[in-house]
Amino acid sequence: MHPRPASAPPRIDLHAHSTASDGTLTPAELVRAAADAGLDVVAITDHDTTAGWEPARRALPPGLTLIRGAELSCRWHGEQPAVPLHLLAYLFDPAEPELAAELARVRAAREVRGERIVELLRADGVDVSWAEIHAAADGGTVGRPHIAAALIRAGLVATTAEAFGARWLGERYRLPKDDIDVFRAVELVRAAGGVPVFAHPRASRRGRIVPDGLIVELAAVGLAGLEADHEDHSPAERAHVRALAEHLGLLVTGSSDFHGSHKTVGLGAFTTDPGAYGRIVAQARGVSPVASG
């Protein structure tokens, strides 16, 4: 762990993934790595699952606070084809029936999609195994990074980025997911006592982005904030997100979107201001932050 002066502000990273979805560190390893990176607060936000919450809580190192969350796979149907987007949900009640049912549905759809992608690959003579990919996920939500890892193991690509290129999972072997309507997602997170924040909303390098008008509409129905400081935002995109958040009275977060070895960005590469973190905690009615002694 890297010691800091007592007067230094807390370092807060509100977007990180474990093996419960598509990260490469287990939940226990994730919280230990967060402490080693000098973080004071870390959020576990696996895709569409809360499976990592309890093992992360049990392994929480001294001095680290855990924010329990998830990254929800959503769609906006205001354009055709619908635009995929991600919603970070913090401190919600995982037992709330409607949200839990939607997350279970999305996870099941991910499994079906993953198996279909493998079938397409195998039909083209690519020697990858669904059984191996499923086993490698070790109970986590199967996603394209797991298939990318299989392509790397087979020596067909060198990196995850190459696997996500147009020749492979980015286009030729890409299939749509059965996601949650974004307005319904905001409603479900709020009903479960959680706090919804739009993940990397201006990341044009990832593909299509939604218009500012959608964010205005989402703010009117309960969206709490926007993730501005993110590796996939250019400086101009970060400035745009901050200005929009200020105009709408939304909080602003910064996060690493850490995935372990699937990405080069490290924990704490981008952080959240303590004031914005305090607003998230104040709004939450589902579960509380977990602080280790």
Is residue 215 a part of any domain in this protein?
yes
Is residue 44, in this structure, part of any structural domain at all? yes
Taking only the tens place, the pLDDT of each residue in 264-281 is: 899 999 999 999 999 999
Task: Decide if 259 is inside a domain.
Answer: yes
Q: What is the mean pLDDT of residues 40-65?
A: 97
Q: Is the pLDDT of residue 43 over 90?
A: yes
4 belongs to a structural domain: no
Helices (H), 59-173: 97-123, 130-137, 144-153, 160-163
Q: What is the pLDDT of residues 25-36, one digit of tens each?
A: 999 999 999 999
Spatial contact of 42 and 30, defined as CB atoms under 8 Å apart: yes
Per the structure, the count of domains in the chain is 1
Q: What is the pTM of this model?
A: 0.91
- Inform me whether the pLDDT recorded for 3 exceeds 60: no
Answer whether residue 57 is part of any domain. Answer: yes
Q: What residues make up the domain containing 114?
A: 12-291
Band the pLDDT of 110: cuts 50, 70, 90. Answer: confident
> What is the DSSP code string of 203-235?
-GGGS----HHHHHHHHHTT--EEEEE-TTS-H
pLDDT of residue 38: 97
Is 45 buried (19+), middle (13-18) or exposed (0-12) by CB count in 10 A?
A: buried
Query: Could you report the per-residue pLDDT of 50-62, keeping only the tens digit for each?
Result: 999 999 999 999 9
The answer to whether residue 207 scores a pLDDT higher than 70 is yes
Residue 157 lies in a domain: yes
Asked, for residue 245, whether it belongs to a domain, the answer is yes
The pLDDT of residue 5 = 62
Residue 218 belongs to domain with CATH number: 3.20.20.140
Residue-wise pLDDT for 114-140, tens only, equals 999 999 999 999 999 999 998 888 777
Which of 292, 290, 266, 293 is closest to 67 using CA atoms?
290
In angstroms, rounded to a whole number, what is the distance separating the alpha carbons of residues 285 and 268? 26
| pLDDT at site 226 | 98
Kindly state whether residue 5 falls inside one of the protein's structural domains: no
> Length of the chain, please?
293
